[in-house]
């Protein structure tokens, strides 16, 4: 059952926090630190874009926006 869920996550464009933890194979604290480091934030509905998570896992840091600037967008 868990394997089927993990495979299904690969086809979703947006992921919930719990799904991101499974997708990245990281703990909650590690995931939060990585997201902060790479400037990845949840959208207004509480989801992360899978493309952003993929870039984070690949080590591509494209975002240079601080949390204060992101808050106004």
Mean pLDDT in the chain? 80
CA distances in angstroms from 46 to 15, 16, 22, 35, 43, listed in the order given? 9, 7, 16, 14, 5
Ordered by start, the domain boundaries in the chain are 13-71
For residues 20 and 45, what is the distance between their CA atoms, to the nearest angstrom?
Answer: 15
pLDDT confidence band for 48 (50 / 70 / 90): very high
pLDDT at position 73:
44
* pLDDT over threshold 60, residue 68: no
Q: In this prediction, what percent of the chain has a pLDDT beyond 70?
A: 73
The CATH topology of domain 13-71 is Multidrug-efflux Transporter Regulator; Chain: A; Domain 2 (1.10.1660)
Per the CB < 8 A criterion, the answer to whether 23 and 53 are in contact is yes
For residues 73 and 58, what is the distance between their CA atoms, to the nearest angstrom?
Answer: 26
């Amino acid at each position: 059952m868990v394997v089927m869920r993990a495979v299904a996550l690969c086809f979703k464009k947006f992921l919930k926090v719990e799904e991101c933890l499974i997708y990245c194979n990281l703990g909650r604290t590690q995931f939060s630190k990585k997201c902060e480091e790479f400037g990845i934030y949840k959208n207004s509905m509480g989801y992360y874009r899978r493309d952003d998570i993929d870039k984070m896992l690949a080590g591509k840091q494209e975002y240079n926006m601080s949390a204060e600037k992101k808050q106004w967008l």
